[in-house]
Amino acid sequence: MQIEFLDGTLAADTSPVARIVNQDAIPADLESVLTDGARASRFSGKTAQLFEGFVSRGGKAVRVALIGAGDGKAKDRLAALERAGAALTAKFLASGETALTIDLADSGLAAADAAAFLLGARLRGWRHDVYRTRMPEDQKATLKTIRVANAPAGTEAAWEAEAALAQGVEFTRELVTEPANVIYPESFVARAEKRLAGTGIGLRVLDENEMAALGMGALLGVAQGSVRKPRLLVMEWKGGQAGEAPVAFVGKGVTFDTGGISLKPPAGMEDMKWDMGGAGAVAGTMLALALRKAKANVVGVCGLVENMPDGNAQRPGDVVTSMSGQTIEVINTDAEGRLVLCDAITWTQKEFSPAAVIDLATLTGAMIISLGNEHGGLFSNDDALAEKLLDAGIASGDKLWRQPMGPAYDKLIDSPIADMKNVGPREGGSITAAQFIQRFVDKGTPWAHLDIAGMVWAAKPGATWDKGATGFGVRVLDRFVRDQLEG
């Protein structure tokens, strides 16, 4: 969806016009039929409340919508404006209208407020209808353009940064939504190379032979049952001080997860196309940072594999040697994401000596049991880093909740024949998974693990997304960079 700024006047055509209304502040300049209709329908301007009607302007019938922006003094003002923008798009997305004009005259919005409204409108307009060939006409998305009239000073500049963020979120949604026969390690790399071309991001790709030479036995063990070859995708953005250590984002990219020999139940296995949601979030974040020319040094690393159960697949009971030299007894081949992450994190630390490492992964079903679909889980060895990420989650809407770690949990993954095993008992499954990853973090390196299993895919529409891929992870990382690396 395109956002276009007008020169201060309304479009001359008959496309719908929307007015943003603060709570209990219906504009006085509206036609009486709109004012009376709004009051009769109990429209008061509450957040995302919507009223629409038709009026005659210049001899033409014009569709007018009033969208509630809520209390102008509320602490969550920007989030409320995002929800309002999203509600407006949801109303008109399949309405048959191709364009919508938002008139910001007398809205009282500052530039940042208007940009937040437009971000919600843009994000809610994303759909992936590529494979739908028989969709009824009245369900097809028609809205292509949102025009902005009478924008407050500075809105276009504020929107530039949010537009970059929106493109990053949309790219993540695209990657997560595509089926596993379309997105697999090699095609994930190709899609990223195409999308990131010309952005200034430096790209590197390690193939299976290079990873084998480096000793990545944990990652390669997961991949060995698939005909799809594994890849390590590296994206480097140098927007900060020359020579300053980057912050590293590392994503789990299991493009399809059958569970391997420890096969998952058939029901719901189709959802495992989004088990690369962590890698998708890293790729989308790197795109957003590059498009808005973030003044920070950041590296994104995606460990990309497919976990399949063929005759060459890894077996329960196998012992693999990670790049770090630590050995792992593979008790359950469906606990594969941590095997991918441990080698990716080891390589990242050796290559970049990062100032901090933040990994993202759809790692455990136990995380969904703990937090449902409201928060991503946060585990960390550094209180300061954890607090910064929690704050970024609140500010961005990609909410996180910190989980405990400690030596008592760590003992649960000790193995009788290797340095560790890849799973502990059923209890505390998300915690022992984090304890496993922590064993591969260099001493003194601030690290955080975001278990986003419950957040990358939605069974019903949310505030700024339709059913399906949410793009979770991009916004919290982008906000972290804005506040902590650029601020």
CA-to-CA separations, 272 to 164, 265, 268, 308, in angstroms, rounded: 28, 11, 8, 12
Cα gap 164→166, rounded to integer Å: 5
Position 104 pLDDT exceeds 70? yes
Cα gap 268→255, rounded to integer Å: 15
* Percent of all residues in the chain with a pLDDT value above 90, rounded to a whole number: 95
Taking the CA atoms of 458, 166, 300 and 397 in sequence, report the sign of the dihedral they define: negative
pLDDT band, very low/low/confident/very high, at 25 (cuts 50, 70, 90): very high
Cα gap 49→67, rounded to integer Å: 6
Alpha-carbon dihedral angle through residues 110, 471, 366, 415, given to the nearest 10 degrees: -120
The tens digit of pLDDT for each residue in 50-75 reads 999 999 988 889 999 999 999 988 88
Model pLDDT, residue 11: 64
Q: Which residue would you say has higher pLDDT here, 60 or 400?
A: 400
Q: What is the 3-state secondary structure (H, E, C) of the chain?
A: CEEEECCCCCCCCCCCEEEEEECCCCCCCCCHHHHHHHHHCCCCCCCCCEEEEEEEECCEEEEEEEEEEECCCCCCHHHHHHHHHHHHHHHHCCCCCCEEEEECCCCCCCHHHHHHHHHHHHHHCCCCCCCCCCCCHHHCCCCCEEEEECCCCCHHHHHHHHHHHHHHHHHHHHHHHCCCCCCCHHHHHHHHHHHHCCCCCEEEEECHHHHHHHCCHHHHHHHCCCCCCCEEEEEEEECCCCCCCCEEEEEEEEEEECCCCCCCCCCCHHHHHHCCHHHHHHHHHHHHHHHCCCCCEEEEEEEEEEECCCCCCCCCCCEEECCCCCEEECCCCCCCHHHHHHHHHHHHHHHHCCCEEEEEECCCHHHHHHHCCCCEEEEECCHHHHHHHHHHHHHHCCCEEECCCCHHHHHHHCCCCCCEECCCCCCCHHHHHHHHHHCCCCCCCCEEEEECCCCCEECCCCCCCCCEECCCCHHHHHHHHHHHHHC
Cα gap 368→390, rounded to integer Å: 18
> Hey, what amino acid is at 296?
A
Lowest mean pLDDT among 68-82, 239-253, 370-384, 423-437: 68-82
Q: What is the mean pLDDT of residues 352-372?
A: 98
Domains detected in the chain: 2-153 (3.40.220.10), 164-486 (3.40.630.10)
Cα gap 55→30, rounded to integer Å: 10
Position 377 pLDDT exceeds 90? yes
On whether the CB atoms of residues 45 and 27 are closer than 8 A, the answer is no
On whether the CB atoms of residues 120 and 82 are closer than 8 A, the answer is yes
pLDDT band, very low/low/confident/very high, at 12 (cuts 50, 70, 90): low
- Does 264 qualify as catalytic in the annotation? yes
The tens digit of pLDDT for each residue in 222-261 reads 999 999 999 999 999 999 999 999 999 999 999 999 999 9
Which listed residue (122, 195, 292, 338) is catalytic? 338
> Hey, what amino acid is at 310?
D
Model pLDDT, residue 447: 99
Query: What pTM, to 2 d.p., does this model score?
Result: 0.97
pLDDT band, very low/low/confident/very high, at 7 (cuts 50, 70, 90): confident
Model pLDDT, residue 58: 82
pLDDT band, very low/low/confident/very high, at 413 (cuts 50, 70, 90): very high
Angle at 229 between CA 227 and CA 233, to 5 degrees: 155
Cα gap 302→181, rounded to integer Å: 19
Position 387 pLDDT exceeds 90? yes
pLDDT band, very low/low/confident/very high, at 119 (cuts 50, 70, 90): very high
Model pLDDT, residue 57: 86
Q: Using DSSP bridges, classify how beta strands 468-469 and 457-458 pair: parallel, antiparallel or unpaired.
A: antiparallel
The tens digit of pLDDT for each residue in 259-273 reads 999 999 999 999 999
Which listed residue (229, 264, 295, 402) is catalytic? 264
pLDDT band, very low/low/confident/very high, at 385 (cuts 50, 70, 90): very high
Mean pLDDT score across all residues of the chain: 96
Model pLDDT, residue 428: 97
Position 163 pLDDT exceeds 80? yes
The tens digit of pLDDT for each residue in 291-322 reads 999 999 999 999 999 999 999 999 999 999 99
- Does 421 qualify as catalytic in the annotation? no
Position 136 pLDDT exceeds 70? yes
Token reading at 362: 């759809």
Position 8 pLDDT exceeds 70? no
The tens digit of pLDDT for each residue in 180-189 reads 999 999 999 9
